[in-house]
Amino acid sequence: MGSTRTIRVAVIPGDGVGEEVAAAGRDVLEASAAASHGKFAFEWEEFPWGCQYYTDTGRMMAEDGLQQLRGFEAVYFGAVGWKSVPDHISLWGLRLAICQGFDQWVNIRPVRFLPGVTSPLRKADDTPLDWIVVRENSEGEYSGFGGRNLSARGDGQEVAVQSALFTEFGCERIIRFAFELARTRDRPKVTGVTKSNAQQFGMVLWDEVFDRVRRDYPDVDADSCLVDAMAARFVLQPESLSVVVASNLHGDVLSDLGSALAGSLGLAASANLNPERTAPSMFEPVHGSAPDIAGRGIANPIGAIGSGALMLRHLGLPDEAARIDRAIETTTAAGNLPPDLGGRTGTKDLTAAIIDNLDA
Ligand code: ATP
């Protein structure tokens, strides 16, 4: 047997349920490493960044935070946001700072329907549903360009401009990524999400790039859909979806809809990828800090645990990732469910059950 591969991971549990679900995900990843018979092991370093850190220091992360994270193979993230700090400060000061600072330009958000989980979609009862939202993660509506001014005109007269940035380079790389991903799936199909009827500059460029790139993939089915129609299609024709590629804002909204359709926001996993591997990628559940249930031990850890599986896949351990995904399925199929899915199992017990099922 060769020497053990040590994987150095930075953990940022963040706020609220972020701490509970990041701990759960770590436990499952540790169990996966322990079961690898010396193939790999984790070395974790935890960073206390988030809203409490902001209250203490006036910053969401250390000033040289990106430099501190750069040496790790991956970042494992819980959730960020608390009522003590305005949302736009907590989001831009930590999560978006990392995504943009490390050019994690792909956000993958699989929509998985699990056995034993009741979907609000009746169609899910007898139709296999499984699609992936590929969200542009570096520009679009979240590029951060704009400003506020003219408040000196008097009460009620301030002006704000928020610009969406669409570059041909940015559109091309995410759309091409989606087509490459589609080629690896049973159903090679990409649906591009647009709003080019109303947004005649950025989204028309997006559409033009989509039409150009799709010609390079004659083996992949492709169609385009306006974002409003896409919201309806998620509900009415979800079986028509395989890979859905969308701008930053559209992908954000649609993937929440997707996870709600799968049963709960607590189920959804995500990966923020730097595909060139010039910096670490970051793995996190889609949900936020859920202040309404934080600290009660009832948060659903499946989104965080599934994000850990995405991390293993990115690190070149697909079999181990698949094992975690199977353990999640075995657990939910047995009716072992957290409260947000109508069950009674708390975070720790559910995590322990998933770990037990790693061997199943
Ligand atoms: P953000 O803007 O950061 O996404 P938010 O407050 O809009 O935050 P969440 O924090 O994700 O959204 O919470 C939305 C709802 O989903 C809340 O009712 C919360 O309790 C529920 N929720 C989120 N995550 C979980 C989870 N892991 N387990 C159970 N319920 C969750």
196 lines ligand 1 (CB under 6 A): no
Give, for ligand 1, the residue of 265, 286, 292, 302 to mutate: max count of ligand atoms closer than 8 Å to Cβ.
265
Q: How far is the CA of 313 from the centre of ligand 1 (A)?
A: 26
pLDDT digits (tens, 9 = 90+) for 281-294: 999 999 999 999 99
pLDDT digits (tens, 9 = 90+) for 179-192: 999 999 999 999 99
pLDDT digits (tens, 9 = 90+) for 88-136: 999 999 999 999 999 999 999 999 999 999 999 999 999 999 999 999 9
Nearest CA to ligand 1 atom 2: 288
The rounded percent of the chain whose pLDDT value lies above 70 is: 99
Q: Mean of the pLDDT values across residues 308-322?
A: 97
CB 127 within 8 A of CB 294: no
Domains and CATH numbers, the chain: 1-105+268-360 (3.40.718.10), 119-262 (3.40.718.10)
Q: Mean of the pLDDT values across residues 250-256?
A: 96
Give the residue among 291, 284, 285 at the shortest CA–CA distance from 82: 291
Sheet strands (E) in 128-273: 130-136, 140-149, 159-165, 189-194, 221-226, 243-246, 269-273
Q: How far apart are CA 68 and CA 62, in angstroms?
A: 9
**Whether the predicted pLDDT of 41 surpasses 60:** yes
Q: Give the position, in ligand 1's atom list, of the atom nearest the Cα of 339.
A: 29
186 lines ligand 1 (CB under 6 A): no
What integer pLDDT is reported at residue 1 of this predicted model?
56
**224: which residues sit within 8 A by CB, 6+ positions away?**
191, 192, 193, 194, 207, 210
Write down the pTM of the prediction.
0.95
292 lines ligand 1 (CB under 6 A): yes
Helix axes 302-314 and 318-333, enclosed angle (nearest 10): 160
**Whether the predicted pLDDT of 47 surpasses 70:** yes
CB 118 within 8 A of CB 342: yes
**Whether the predicted pLDDT of 340 surpasses 80:** yes
Q: Give the position, in ligand 1's atom list, of the atom nearest the Cα of 16.
A: 10
pLDDT digits (tens, 9 = 90+) for 52-89: 999 999 999 999 999 999 999 999 999 999 999 999 99
Q: How far apart are CA 77 and CA 281, in angstroms?
A: 10
Q: How far apart are CA 53 and CA 65, in angstroms?
A: 12
- Alpha carbons within 13 angstroms on the beta-carbon side of residue 270 total 31
Q: Give the position, in ligand 1's atom list, of the atom nearest the Cα of 287.
A: 11
What integer pLDDT is reported at residue 296 of this predicted model?
97
Q: Mean of the pLDDT values across residues 336-359?
A: 97
289 lines ligand 1 (CB under 6 A): yes
Query: Does residue 156 sit in helix, strand or coil?
Result: coil
pLDDT digits (tens, 9 = 90+) for 142-182: 999 999 999 999 999 999 999 999 999 999 999 999 999 99
What integer pLDDT is reported at residue 359 of this predicted model?
85
Token representation of residue 23:
């701990």
Q: Give the position, in ligand 1's atom list, of the atom nearest the Cα of 299.
A: 28
**61: which residues sit within 8 A by CB, 6+ positions away?**
47, 49, 53, 93, 94, 97, 98
Q: What are the residues facing 45 on neighbouring strands?
A: 10
Chain centroid offset of residue 34 CA: 26
How many degrees, rounded to 5, is the angle at CA 86 between CA 64 and CA 20? 70
Q: Give the position, in ligand 1's atom list, of the atom nearest the Cα of 79.
A: 3
95 lines ligand 1 (CB under 6 A): no
Q: How far is the CA of 263 from the centre of ligand 1 (A)?
A: 13
What integer pLDDT is reported at residue 154 of this predicted model?
93
Q: How far is the CA of 266 from the centre of ligand 1 (A)?
A: 7
Q: In which element (H, E) is residue 285 found?
A: strand 281-285
C-alpha distances (whole Å) from 258 to each of 13, 100, 105 are 24, 24, 21
81 lines ligand 1 (CB under 6 A): yes
**265: which residues sit within 8 A by CB, 6+ positions away?**
256, 259, 286, 287, 303, 340
**Whether the predicted pLDDT of 2 surpasses 80:** no
